[in-house]
Amino acid sequence: MKEIVIIEWKKLWHSKLTVLAVVLLIITCIFLNFATFFVFEADSSGRNATIRKEAKGGMLNQEYIDYLIESLDVYELDAAAWYDLLQHESYSNAFQFIGFVKDYSDNQLQDILSNEESFYQQYKMAVSKEIEHANLFNWFSYTAEHMARIDNKIEQIQTPIEVGYNRGIGMFIYQYNTLYVLVLFVISFVLSSIFTCDSPQGIDELTLALKKGRKQNFNARIITGNIVALTIYAIFIGVMLIQHALMYSLQGWGNSLQSYWVTAIYNISLGSGVLIILAHGLLTVLLVTNLVMLISIVIKRAKIATLLSITVVGALIQLTNTSNPLLLQLNPVYFATQRFNSRWGFEFYYFIGNIMIPYTVIVLMLGCLYFFVIRLLTVKQYKRYTLQ
């Protein structure tokens, strides 16, 4: 099996179209990252910054809040100056956090910032209100008991929140969301001919000569296709991380998750949150990979299989624009993009009775179900595969 996988791997990467597709993915990512960088920099330089001080990060406790008040004359800021500080890389996390609490409070800003304990109590109340409001746009409604359980989870958020400079990570997250679909298109293009009968990378008479050889070869191709998809995904992530590290640095992995997703209720770091995002992206990559290979087995003709694979992936991406939240949450592409294209924040919960189930767990369950169905159909098709 190992030898067959190696052979199939070489066949795929010896294809000029495979290399060209991956190179174009790299070039496109680099170009769009730089374009976004220059747009953001031009916007930043075009503003009249109220304050330009050295970045100061750490725990957003009373000492740090007092520092902000004294250094930046917070109580004297007008709307334009406040906006400027929200964009300022040195203080954006802290002011995003303070601004969130302020918007959900009826108290004056000075009252909010005067006491750390009351500040975080206001914050937790604001998170509860935001989650309850966001649930109005979901396909199910939280009961009073459900919200009580969520509020209990909110009360367990560890404070004070750790904030600091993390612009590089923030831009990586933003660009990952923007460019992720390119990976799915490249994978669908590269693997759509892996089982076709009119492609150098496809199936021939020798492959089908023996029953055992057929089974081993088909399974080896499926394994190879998944490895190739993982490689493309890893290249994509590597290029993005390296480029953002060079442009901004990747400082801030240890910041609290709430420093970026204000309504998150997990006590994990921002870096751990990014790893969860990448894992969900990996799940979608593997689902699309196996779906494309199934299409390749069924269609058998390279050009038609490629066109159909790209069309199916494009349709799944387009369906993430639906206003139906249930259809949205069933979409495998949404697994990877949910935290960017959703009003529900970093995580939301299903309930079975009064048992809280994070959507992350639902994603894993749906992913296993989709894999099972695709695998059954794939096995059925390659057992009946004949050259035509």
Residue 68: pLDDT over 90: no
> Where among 163, 184, 210 does a domain terminate?
163
Residues for the chain: how many in total?
Answer: 388
What's the pLDDT score for residue 94?
A: 83
Place of tokens 């400027």: 84
Which residue reads 């020798």 in tokens? Answer: 206
pLDDT at position 216: 82
| 252 phi and psi angles, rounded to 5 deg | 115, 10
Choosing from 105, 135, 163, the residue where a domain stops is 163
Same domain, 102 and 134: yes
Q: Which two tokens stand for residue 154?
A: 């909110």
**What are the residues whose beta carbons fall under 8 Å from the beta carbon of 311, sequence distance 6 or more?**
none
- Judgement on whether residues 11 and 69 belong to the same structural domain of the protein: no
Flag whether 323 is in a domain: yes
Q: Does the pLDDT value for residue 249 go beyond 90?
A: no
Residue 55 has pLDDT above 60, yes or no: no
Are residues 338 and 214 part of one domain?
Answer: yes
Question: Does residue 47 form part of some domain?
Answer: no
| Spatial separation of the C-alpha atoms in residues 311 and 303, rounded to whole Å | 12
Question: How does the average pLDDT of the chain come out, rounded?
Answer: 87
**Residues 199, 210: one domain?**
yes
Q: By CB neighbour count within 10 A (0-12 exposed, 13-18 middle, 19+ buried), where does 255 fall?
A: buried
Boundary residue ending a domain (121, 137, 163):
163
Q: How many CA atoms lie within 13 A of 155 on its CB side?
A: 6
pLDDT at residue 53 above 60? no
Instruction: Note the pLDDT of residue 76.
Output: 73
CB 297 within 8 A of CB 382: yes
With respect to residue 133, please indicate whether it lies within any of the assigned structural domains.
yes
What is the domain range of residue 364?
2-38+165-383
pLDDT at 37 (0 to 100)? 82
Question: Alpha-carbon distance 60 to 160, whole Å?
Answer: 6
Looking at residue 358, the DSSP 8-state letter turns out to be E
Any bridge partners for residue 349, and if so which?
358
Same domain, 172 and 319: yes
Domain membership flag for residue 52: no
- Domain contains 45: no
pLDDT in tens, 153-205: 999 999 999 988 888 898 999 999 999 999 999 999 999 988 887 777 767 65
d(CA 54, CA 52): 7
Total of domains in the chain: 2
Lowest-confidence region among 32-46, 132-146, 203-217: 203-217
Secondary structure letter of residue 161 according to DSSP: P
Is 212 a residue whose pLDDT tops 60?
Answer: no
Residue 217 confidence (pLDDT) above 60? yes
Residues 316 and 334 both lie in one domain: yes
Considering only 62-66, 311-315, 361-365, which range has the smallest mean pLDDT?
62-66
Q: Provide the 8-state DSSP code for 49.
A: -
Claim to verify: residue 211 and residue 356 sit in the same structural domain: yes
Q: Comparing 91-105, 151-165, 261-275, 325-339, which segment has the lowest mean pLDDT?
A: 91-105
Q: How confident is the model at residue 113 (pLDDT cuts 50, 70, 90)?
A: confident
Helix segments in the chain, DSSP class H? 2-13, 16-46, 62-72, 79-87, 92-103, 109-113, 116-134, 144-155, 167-191, 211-247, 270-299, 302-318, 325-330, 332-337, 359-383
- pTM for this prediction: 0.90
The verdict on residue 46 lying in a domain is no
Residue 22 falls inside a structural domain: yes
State the greatest distance between any 2 C-alpha atoms of the chain, in Å, as a whole number: 81
Residues 238 and 335 reside in one and the same domain: yes
Residue 41 has pLDDT above 80, yes or no: no
User: d(Cα 300, Cα 292) in Å, to the nearest integer?
Assistant: 12
**In this predicted structure, what is the pLDDT of residue 344?**
85
User: Both 221 and 279 in a single domain?
Assistant: yes
My answer on whether 135 and 198 are in the same domain is no
CB 269 within 8 A of CB 257: yes
Together in a domain, 237 and 152? no
Per residue in 268-291, pLDDT (tens digit) is 999 999 999 999 999 999 999 999
Rounded mean pLDDT of 313-338? 94
Q: Indicate if the pLDDT at residue 341 is higher than 70.
A: no
Question: Long-range contacts for 102-108 (Cβ within 8 Å, ≥24 apart)?
Answer: 104/129, 104/130
Separation CA 164–CA 170 (nearest Å): 12
Q: Same structural domain for residues 351 and 227?
A: yes
Q: Is residue 225 part of a domain?
A: yes
Give the residue-averaged pLDDT of 335-343. 82
Average pLDDT over residues 116-144: 93
